Amino acid sequence: MDTSFSRRRLGPVLLLLAIACAETPAPATDSDSIAAQPTVADGATGGDSLVVRIDEQVRPTAAGDSLPTVTFTGGAGEIRVRWDVQSGPCLLAEGSAARTGNEVTIRIARRGDPAALCERGEVVYQYEIRVGDLPAGEYRVTLVEAPLREADRPAGTGSVSVTAAGI
């Protein structure tokens, strides 16, 4: 059976379909929320692996945004980090953390979501990062951004006081 006719006719259809998908924006919303499941560090940062949870809010950029910002807070048995950063849309974030003594390194790997239909332009990601299972004490915390195909870069450093976790 000669299928050359079918292949020739299907090629332009697939091309038009690909263009239509690339040009179709997702419905706009004021805020999208994604709650990540807790993950355990892969040990890439060295030290003892810690449990990390990332909650993410996405919003449009606004006039007067002064970004990026990083805030570190200690709590009962945990460290909380708020990281606001502007970047392209449709990113997935995965976190890992490790502790060596009173030094905690949190690594956030961000990459594009191949399954998402995205709007064009920049958006603001508001990450709420929680690192748990820590004994009480003073900690120096470093947040490291690990963008796809780029070298890791520090996003911020701070000191926090962690109190004993309640039962």
For residue 161, the cross-strand partners are 138
Q: What is the pLDDT of residue 119?
A: 76
Q: What is the pLDDT of residue 167?
A: 59
Which DSSP string corresponds to 35-83?
Answer: EPPPEE--STT-SEEEEEEEEEEEEE--TT----EEEEEE-BS-EEEEE
Q: What is the pLDDT of residue 120?
A: 82
What average pLDDT values come out for the chain (167 residues) when binned by 10 residues?
A: 44 37 36 42 67 95 94 97 94 95 97 85 96 96 92 96 87
Q: What is the pLDDT of residue 109?
A: 96
66 burial level (CB within 10 Å; 0-12, 13-18, 19+): exposed
| Residue 14, SS3 per DSSP | helix
Q: What is the pLDDT of residue 28?
A: 36
Q: What is the pLDDT of residue 147?
A: 87
What pTM does this model have? 0.72
What are the distances in angstroms from CA 69 to CA 9, 66, 72, 111, 164? 52, 7, 10, 20, 28
Distance CA 131, CA 52 (A): 5
User: How is residue 113 written in tokens?
Assistant: 């979501």
